[in-house]
């Protein structure tokens, strides 16, 4: 009886020893070799856009070029800015690394003291229109009419008022300007309860298609602007721009450089394949904003060139942009506003 007990005891001790050695080896191999953790880590770039034309090329980037980033261990995290206030909050709180934001909006933030916001380039150049009833024509037809505008102080508002003044009109006396969210503007115009609205593309085309001939483009504000400002030689008016929050991307410079390069390709792809870009945009408008935005509205705005997108680095159009800011009455920022692309 004593012998079997002794054998059982020795077997138990052997098993405990073997288990201890195995655990020690596992702990040593994992703690002294961090390669596995390092290789599996990824760099995340947080990108934001509003549900506007800016969203189209970044949708193409995520859909068509997503693998380019995955293969290099870069994760693109898209953070929607559903309202204008969301965009400003995301930028100021440091929630994002890259913002697809209007040129003048970014300039105003920078000159108000947010110096970490840096511009890379402008990619939306033609997009603002006055859309209204089929029986209204030109400035004379708009006089005394109700003009709906998406947000007070935003780009459509500022640009419309400047163009109206250039035409010899007083925006607040000659029109009934009403500021409303786009869903309400859409509802009122389609119901025939409003005269006209200042809208960006592709929203302008969306309403024209839905109205079945009851709405039209009354004014091309880009054309109006260039007619009254001969010194402005660019086609259109700078809108959507690519901004980087410099303090957030330290250590991510290579990833940011790749994003900028791929974003340029996405812009080109959008122009070459407007129908596909429309389908992709429809998918991502729904995914991130819960909006039903028909692919045809996007593709038609691109094909008609009412929405004109081409990426231009600020260094290539710097003189023109400064001239525009002076015309608009905005403060001209110092050279610190320009993002310097580095390897990190």
- pLDDT tens digits, one per residue of 165-193: 999 999 999 999 999 999 999 999 999 99
My answer on whether 249 and 320 are in the same domain is: yes
Q: Which of 33-42, 189-198, 248-257 has the lowest mean pLDDT?
A: 33-42
Residues 110 and 150 in one domain: no
Asked which of 228, 255, 287 is the last residue of a domain, the reply is: 228
Residues 195 and 266 in one domain: no
Confidence of residue 342 (pLDDT cuts 50, 70, 90): confident
- Mean pLDDT for 190-219 is 96
Edge-first strand order for the sheet with 215-220 is: 176-179, 146-149, 196-200, 128-133, 215-220
The two tokens of residue 286 are 């729904």
Q: Report residue 71's pLDDT band, with 50, 70 and 90 as the boundaries.
A: very high
245: domain range? 42-126+238-337
Question: Look-up: residue for tokens 């005269």?
Answer: 195
- What is the CB neighbour count within 10 angstroms for residue 163? 25
256 occurs within a structural domain = yes
Domain count, the chain: 2
Q: Are residues 172 and 253 in the same domain?
A: no
Do 152 and 287 reside in the same domain of the chain? no
pLDDT tens-digit series, residues 37-52: 233 488 999 999 999 9
CATH code of residue 148 = 3.40.190.10
Which tokens go with 273? 């394949």
Whether 245 and 324 map to the same domain: the answer is yes
Question: Are residues 134 and 102 part of one domain?
Answer: no
Same domain for 243 and 329? yes
**Cβ distance 127 to 104 under 8 Å?**
no
Nearest residue to 283 via CA among 44, 47, 58: 58
The CA distance from 281 to 285, in Å, is 6
User: Do residue 112 and residue 66 come from a single domain?
Assistant: yes
Mean pLDDT for the chain overall? 88
Q: What is the pLDDT of residue 61?
A: 98
Predicted TM-score (pTM) of the model is: 0.86
Pair (222, 268) in one structural domain? no
Query: What is each CA distance from 300 to 3, 210, 212, 271, 280, in whole angstroms?
Result: 92, 13, 14, 11, 14
Q: Rounded to whole angstroms, how far apart are CA atoms 214 and 188?
A: 13
Q: Is residue 80 located within the same domain as residue 171?
A: no
């Amino acid at each position: 009886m004593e012998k079997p007990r002794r054998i059982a005891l020795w077997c138990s001790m052997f098993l405990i020893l073997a288990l201890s050695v195995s655990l020690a080896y596992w702990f040593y191999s994992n703690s002294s070799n961090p390669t596995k953790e390092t290789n599996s880590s990824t760099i995340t770039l947080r990108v934001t856009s509003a549900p506007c034309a800016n969203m189209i090329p970044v949708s193409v980037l995520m859909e068509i070029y997503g693998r380019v980033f995955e293969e290099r261990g870069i994760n693109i995290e898209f953070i929607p800015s559903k309202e204008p206030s969301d965009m400003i909050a995301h930028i100021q709180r440091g929630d994002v690394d890259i913002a697809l934001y209007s040129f003048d909006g970014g300039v105003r933030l920078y000159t108000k003291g947010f110096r970490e916001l840096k511009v890379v380039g402008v990619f939306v150049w033609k997009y603002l229109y006055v859309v209204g009833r089929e029986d209204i024509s030109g400035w004379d037809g708009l006089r005394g009419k109700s003009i709906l505008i998406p947000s007070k102080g935003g780009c459509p508002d500022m640009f419309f008022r400047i163009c109206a003044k250039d035409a010899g009109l007083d925006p607040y006396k000659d029109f009934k300007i009403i500021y409303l969210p786009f869903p309400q503007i859409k509802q009122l115009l389609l119901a025939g309860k409003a005269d006209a609205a200042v809208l960006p593309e592709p929203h302008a085309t969306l309403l024209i298609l839905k109205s079945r001939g009851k709405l039209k483009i009354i004014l091309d504000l880009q054309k109006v602007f260039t007619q009254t400002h001969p010194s402005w030689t660019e086609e259109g008016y700078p809108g959507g721009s690519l901004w980087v929050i410099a303090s957030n991307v330290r250590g991510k410079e290579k990833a940011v450089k790749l994003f900028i390069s791929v974003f340029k390709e996405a812009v080109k792809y959008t122009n070459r394949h407007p129908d596909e870009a429309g389908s992709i945009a429809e998918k991502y408008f729904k995914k991130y904003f819960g909006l039903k935005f028909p692919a045809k509205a996007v593709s038609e705005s691109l094909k008609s060139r009412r929405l004109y997108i081409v990426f231009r680095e600020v260094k290539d159009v710097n003189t023109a942009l400064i001239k525009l800011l002076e015309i608009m009455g905005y403060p001209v920022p110092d050279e610190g506003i320009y993002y310097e692309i580095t390897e990190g």
